[in-house]
Amino acid sequence: MSTFLGMPATAPRGVGHLRGDESFPEAARKALGNEQLRRNLAHATTTIRGKSGAVVAELPDWQELRSAGSALKAATMARLPELLEQLEANVTAAGGVVHWAADATEANRIVTGLVEATGHRRVIKVKSMATQEIGLNEALEAAGIAPVETDLAELIVQLGHDKPSHILVPAIHRNRTEIRDIFLREMPGVDPALTDDPATLAAAARRYLRETFLSTKVAVSGANFAVAETGTLAVLESEGNGRMCLTLPDTLITVMGIEKVVPTWRDLEVFLQLLPRASTGERMNPYTSMWTGVTPGDGPQEFHLVLLDNGRTAVLADEVGRQALHCIRCSACLNVCPVYERTGGHAYGSVYPGPIGAVLSPQLTGVADNASLPYASSLCGACFDACPVKIDIPSILVHLRNEAPHPRTERIAMAAAAYTMDRPALYARAQHAAKLSRHATRLPPPLNGWTASRDLPQPPPETFRDWWAAR
């Protein structure tokens, strides 16, 4: 028995949100019928792509930053045990308490226990992929604790009894009228004459949440980075809801994947340049909060850090796939992905959508539980080009396709698809041809199944790969 203890393990079934109810092709087919979704997504991805391209072009050393970021992540993974222990020692020395959670079940138990120990029944939450991954909200609710999402988009998703569809803009599948209707239906004390003007909607959310911020004593957050050398945690955000949650309550509980650690304070100079520009297309996100343990007289006086495995060690065990752990969750790969743009985030069945989701989720759960996801890609390579830490997503996809056990029928269908998708050169040529003709209304196979009955938007004058190569 002892030989199995300590072997890398995948995320357990039955808890959290890494597995969909149906396969990607089935879910994607439904999504393709949703015109509103496709319009919103096309608008969002095009806009963010444009903004990001402009601010990335401002930095003369973008490629050098990417190389540094990529190597830093690889170096971090190679030294992970040592860095995590250093982080623990420094957080503890600064007055924090560190907990280790082998999987989602244990993480939920730890957080629920910590909240119960405070005697409070409500927590405010900063948007966090890790807590979505483990299904923390459901676990808290089961224990009679109310989790309140405070990011505007997450609030829209929560009030709409819905799921996020994008890492960065989780409610991108909703339009303003739908959001107004959700607010009117679900938000206590909202003005019945509420219009669908975005500023008015944001103001309604501000009023609704202010009272909650000021009266809730416990907050739960994720972390973008944690510095081993100093024990410093960092959260990047836009709205100020993060600052509210990180400074107003008495108790702060941060749940963080073990891969988020960075070795030194200086290393943040790389990631703080890469993340905002690749993610929202801003030179810097409006707010970044950094804290080290507790500061007497300022902010929460009790701080807990939960270090989460939940399948990450299984990812680490795969020499090809482990670079998926380098992801800094910028969502740039979603915004350049032709498959994501047409299907949206829900089709991926996991909290991690798009190209990174197609490689991360199957590795976290074991490929058998997400066998169709490695095929949710055209292998066009745009995600690799866009990734600020140079994760070679196409190579991991191909690698995972070989690992996936398939039932016979599925295997036959996928073999046909894989024939084209495994030949990036062929796809690149098809894309190139489309660009030259500028009349293309169909995607190359196997995506032609999706475009057979609908028009493909005009291809851009140059492909992302050409643009990147030329700049």
Partner 1 sequence: MTSKDLILRRIRAALGDTAVPDVPRDYRRAGAGKPDIERLVDRLVDYKAVVHRGSDIAGIVASLEPGRLVVPPGLDPAWLPPGVGTVEDEHDADAVLTAATVAIAETGTIVLDGSPDQGRRVISLLPDLHICVVRPDQVVAAVPDAIARLDPRRPLTWISGPSATSDIELNRVEGVHGPRRLHVILTDR
Tell me which of 118, 247, 395, 451 binds partner 1, using CB under 8 A.
Answer: 247
| Site residues (CB under 8 A) for partner 1, limited to 433-452 | none
User: Does residue 106 bind partner 1 (CB under 8 A)?
Assistant: yes
Binding of partner 1 at residue 320 (CB under 8 A)?
Answer: no
**Cα dihedral value 384, 43, 129, 268, nearest 10:** 60
Residues 385-414 contacting ligand SF4, CB under 6 A: 386-389, 391
C-beta separation of 456 from 443 below 8 A: yes
Which residues, 23 to 42, sit near partner 1 by CB under 8 A?
40
- DSSP label of 370: G
If binding is defined by CB under 8 A, does position 316 make contact with partner 1? Answer: yes
Nearer to ligand SF4, 65 or 356 (CB): 356
The binding track of 47-66 with respect to partner 1, each residue x by CB under 8 A or -, is xx-----------xx--xx-
Pairing between strand 302-308 and 96-101? parallel
Say how far residue 309 (Cα) sits from the centre of its chain: 16
d(CA 343, CA 150): 27
CB of residue 349 vs ligand SF4: minimum separation in angstroms? 17
22 binds partner 1 (CB under 8 A): no
**Is 330 near ligand SF4 (CB under 6 A)?**
yes
The footprint of ligand SF4 on this chain (CB under 6 A) covers a number of residues equal to 13
Using CA of residue 26, residue 30, residue 31, residue 33, what is the dihedral sign?
positive
CA-to-CA dists, residue 25 to 22, 305, 339, 458, angstroms: 8, 38, 11, 24
Q: Of partner 1, ligand SF4, none, which one does residue 327 interact with (CB within 5 to 8 Å by kind)?
A: ligand SF4
When binding is defined by CB under 8 A, the residue of 12, 299, 445, 460 that contacts partner 1 is: 299
325 binds ligand SF4 (CB under 6 A): no
Residue 351 engages ligand SF4 in binding (rule: CB under 6 A): no
CA dihedral 452, 454, 459, 463 (to 10 degrees): -60
User: Between 106 and 259, whose beta carbon lies closer to ligand SF4?
Assistant: 259
> Could you tell me if 393 and 387 are in contact, meaning their C-beta atoms sit under 8 angstroms apart?
yes
Q: Could you say which residues in the range 137-156 bind partner 1, by CB under 8 A? A: 150-153, 156
Taking the C-alpha atoms of residue 172 and residue 36, their distance in angstroms, rounded to an integer, is: 10
Segment interacting with partner 1 (CB under 8 A) among 21-29, 270-278, 397-405, 455-463: 270-278
Nearer to ligand SF4, 253 or 351 (CB): 351
Single out the residue of 356, 373, 379, 404 in contact with ligand SF4 (rule: CB under 6 A): 356
User: By the 8 A CB rule, do 300 and 250 touch?
Assistant: yes
CB 261 within 8 A of CB 80: yes
Strands 146-149 and 302-308: unpaired
Q: How far apart are CA 461 and CA 436, in angstroms?
A: 8
Give me the least distance between CB of 207 and ligand SF4, in Å please: 33
Q: Please state the closest distance from residue 270 (CB atom) to partner 1, in A.
A: 7
Q: Are 170 and 144 in contact (CB under 8 A)?
A: no
73-81, 329-337, 379-387, 458-466 -> range binding partner 1 (CB under 8 A):
73-81
154 to 193, contacts with partner 1 by CB under 8 A?
156, 169-172, 175-176, 179
DSSP state letter for 346: G
Q: From the list 268, 328, 382, 430, which residue makes contact with partner 1 (rule: CB under 8 A)?
A: 268
Per-residue interface string for the shown chain with partner 1, residues 372-411, x marking contact by CB under 8 A: ----------------------------------------
Considering only CA atoms, which of 463, 460, 368, 451 is closest in space to residue 424? 463
- In whole angstroms, what is the distance from residue 194 CA to residue 190 CA? 8
Residues 6+ apart with CB under 8 A from 306: 98, 99, 100, 101, 107, 110, 111, 253, 254, 255, 256
Residue from 110, 314, 328, 414 touching ligand SF4 (CB under 6 A): that is: 328
Binders of ligand SF4 among 254-293, rule CB under 6 A? none
Residue ranges binding ligand SF4 (CB under 6 A): 327-333, 356, 386-389, 391
